[in-house]
Chain A
Amino acid sequence: MGFLTIFLFLVSALYSVKAGTLSAVANAVTECGSSAVTLVIGMCGAMAVWGGLVNVANESGLSELLTKAMKPLINKIFKGLNRDSKATNAIALNITANLLGLGNAATPLGLSAMKLLEEEERAGDKPTKNMTLLAVINACSLQIIPTTVAALRLSSGSRSPMEILPCVILVSAASLLVALITAEVLEGGR
């Protein structure tokens, strides 16, 4: 990520000199910090509320109940994890929230899963394979019902906003599969 960020910035800066957009880029440099802060402030309320609700579910034992059904699938993708570990529970909740399209709930759940994976697999400076897989799964769209896009289609006057659903499910599933296979191949080399 570090290299990519540096590379993208340098390319943009060079191009802006040629295109005459240098002042726009200069403004962007100063403003991007506040946009990151705005993003986090926008997120932190939801992170607190969902973090709180999830901890209620954890302490009452509800999480365990919910994740039982997901576990066989999770243990197929995330190899070498203890079935009953906290990380497995968190991953199950994260994937459930993603499938339901609850992005605001999925992120805090995914981040705590990431931290639990780090702890349980004793990761140092290098991410473990399971940490990479979790990030990859979340970087793909798992949402079954595309509510935001459908809402946008409806407001633009579509006759059938949800007609894209079969296409979305097919394309999402195929791209997730390709991403997971790529990750497996890349990780296999270690």
Chain B
Amino acid sequence: MDVSSVIVVGIVCGILIYGLIKRTDVASAFTKGAEDGLRTAFGLLPTLCFVTLSVAALRASGILEMITGLLSPLAGRLGIPVQCLPLALLRPISGSGALTLLGEILKDCGPDSFAGRTASVMAASTETTFYTVAIYFGAVKAKRSRKAVIAALAGDITAFFLSVFAVRIILG
């Protein structure tokens, strides 16, 4: 029994019980909300197709591996584990890709190694920036997301470097 399962089931019970107490028409409120949710989900598709075009090409072309190769001497000098570089590059564009990569790093270096810990902190403190911004702007008419992307990437870069230092200082 993990914490998040308890939270999820607890929240659903809470919502249903409060609805009953307040004599809300739970069924009709639910179906109305579900309809809105479905409409929003399918409304995302056109924008999402456009964004995945570049993400898919990036992954398939092998350009991430090339950039990793270029950056690894510099990373070595700064004390950043080389294994974490592809993770940092992939994390903002592909959530499932980053998770796959993290699994490989944990297997190859060990989860309690410096590289393994750093990669874990990196993956856990960041989000799939491009997807998130694309989805959020996919839901509204305004499409100029440049400022949001730049600001969120500034956060990602901070998280990348800080992960290395936080693991070194806190976990030794």
Please classify how large the interface on chain B is, using the bins under 10, 10 to 19, 20 to 34, 35 or more.
Answer: 35 or more
Contacts of B41 in A (CB 8 A): 40, 43-44, 47-48, 108
Report the Cα distance A162→B145, complex, angstroms. 35
A152-B139 contact in complex given A16-B62, A139-B148, C-beta closer than 8 Å: no
Contacts of A108 in B (CB 8 A): 37, 40-41
In the complex, which of the residues B11, B56, B59, B152 contacts A139, with contact meaning CB atoms closer than 8 Å? B152
Flag if A40 contacts B42 (CB, 8 Å).
Answer: yes
In the complex, which of the residues B111, B124, B142, B170 contacts A131, with contact meaning CB atoms closer than 8 Å? B142
B71 within 8 A of A: no
A39-B48 contact in complex given A28-B60, A125-B143, C-beta closer than 8 Å: yes
Flag if A111 contacts B139 (CB, 8 Å).
Answer: yes
Total residues of chain A contacting the partner, CB 8 A: 108
Number of A-B contacts (CB under 8 A): 362
Flag if A175 contacts B126 (CB, 8 Å).
Answer: yes
Flag if B150 contacts A182 (CB, 8 Å).
Answer: yes
Residues on B close to A: CB < 8 A?
A: 2-4, 7-8, 11-12, 14-16, 18-19, 21-22, 24-26, 29-38, 40-42, 44-45, 48-63, 66, 99, 102-103, 106-107, 110-112, 116-117, 120-127, 129-130, 132-137, 139-152, 154-156, 158-159, 162-163, 166-167, 170-171
Listed A/B pairs (30) with beta-carbon separation below 8 Å = A1-B137, A2-B143, A5-B50, A28-B57, A36-B48, A40-B42, A47-B38, A48-B41, A51-B40, A52-B34, A56-B24, A58-B29, A59-B19, A61-B18, A62-B18, A114-B139, A126-B142, A127-B140, A132-B148, A138-B136, A152-B103, A152-B106, A156-B110, A160-B112, A170-B170, A172-B159, A174-B158, A174-B159, A183-B148, A186-B150
